[in-house]
């Protein structure tokens, strides 16, 4: 023990370290304003070379980030659908999840909602076409079939509902709405649900 290494311990940089640092930078400054040099600094290594141990290029970092986020969201939504019967309950819990994430992990939500993924990965699907948001649309679809939600096109209903939710979260994330997401949640839910419910 030649030196105090209780905190300064030098552990090798992992993939997750790179992802975490990149997520933060991408969501703060945007993908194109973030250089590998920035990432390397945030991760705490001296050159960018170390990053290429884990990712073949800069795009691959964004890809990994995006698919990680979508996967974990998808799993959460599966879980929600399993635990709840009614569409209203399922949507309610999904909204709850998104608002919580906005307060607890704003970088994730900023990356998901603010960063324009098609500008980074032109080949990638739109948000609506990804697994988790497909599932949300399916929840809405079911709600229409069983009469909870009024009979309009499921995508259009998704559009109204999620338009309100997403805009609320974006305004919180950008600071245009100054309080926590949590404090807007119940109102936003009521209005969003009200916009598609069968009266």
Partner DNA sequence: GTCTATACGCCGATAGAC
Partner DNA sequence: GTCTATCGGCGTATAGAC
Nearer to DNA, 35 or 174 (CB): 35
Query: How many other CB atoms are found less than 10 A from the CB of residue 94?
Result: 23
Q: Should residue 171 be labelled a site residue for a second copy when binding is judged by CB under 8 A?
A: yes
Tokens of 34: 């973030």
Sorted by sequence, the CB contacts under 8 Å of residue 125 that are 6+ apart come out as: none
Kind plus residue range of the DSSP H or E element containing 170: helix 154-174
Q: Should residue 167 be labelled a site residue for a second copy when binding is judged by CB under 8 A?
A: yes
CB of 1 to a second copy, least distance (A): 46
> Which residue blocks in 121-153 are alpha helix, DSSP H?
131-145
Task: Determine the size of the site formed for a second copy (CB under 8 A).
Answer: 36
Nearest to 122 by CA among 48, 173, 63: 63
Binding positions for a second copy, 30-69, rule CB under 8 A = 30, 32-33
35/22 Cα distance (integer angstroms): 10
Nearer to a second copy, 13 or 191 (CB): 191
Nearer to DNA, 15 or 72 (CB): 15
CB of 130 to DNA, least distance (A): 24
Q: Should residue 141 be labelled a site residue for a second copy when binding is judged by CB under 8 A?
A: no
Nearer to DNA, 9 or 176 (CB): 9
Instruction: Determine contact, residues 9/1, Cβ cutoff 8 Å.
Output: no
18/62 Cα distance (integer angstroms): 11
Q: Should residue 126 be labelled a site residue for a second copy when binding is judged by CB under 8 A?
A: yes
CB of 164 to DNA, least distance (A): 36
119/85 Cα distance (integer angstroms): 38
Which one among 156, 180, 186, 198 touches a second copy, defined by CB under 8 A?
A: 156
Sorted by sequence, the CB contacts under 8 Å of residue 170 that are 6+ apart come out as: 113, 114
Nearer to DNA, 13 or 170 (CB): 13
Q: Which residues bind a second copy (CB under 8 A)?
A: 29-30, 32-33, 114-116, 118-119, 122, 126, 128-129, 152, 155-156, 159-160, 162-168, 171, 174-177, 184, 187-188, 191, 194-195
């Amino acid at each position: 023990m030649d030196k105090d290494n209780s905190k300064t311990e030098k552990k090798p940089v992992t993939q997750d370290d790179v992802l975490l640092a990149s997520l933060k930078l991408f969501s703060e400054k945007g993908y194109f304003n973030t250089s590998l040099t920035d990432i390397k600094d945030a991760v705490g290594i001296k050159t960018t070379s170390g990053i290429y141990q884990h990712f073949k290029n800069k795009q691959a970092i964004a890809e990994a980030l995006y698919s990680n986020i979508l996967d974990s969201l998808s799993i959460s939504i599966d879980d929600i659908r399993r635990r709840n019967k009614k569409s209203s309950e399922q949507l309610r819990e999904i909204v709850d999840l998104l608002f919580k994430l906005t307060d607890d992990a704003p970088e994730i939500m900023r990356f998901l909602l603010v960063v324009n993924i098609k500008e980074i990965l032109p080949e990638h699907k739109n948000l609506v076409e990804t697994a988790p948001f497909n599932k949300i649309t399916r929840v809405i679809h079911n709600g229409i079939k069983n009469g909870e939600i009024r009979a309009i096109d499921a995508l259009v209903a998704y559009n109204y509902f999620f338009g309100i939710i997403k805009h609320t979260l974006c305004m919180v994330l950008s600071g245009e709405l100054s309080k926590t997401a949590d404090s807007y949640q119940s109102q936003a839910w009521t209005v969003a649900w009200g916009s598609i419910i069968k009266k």
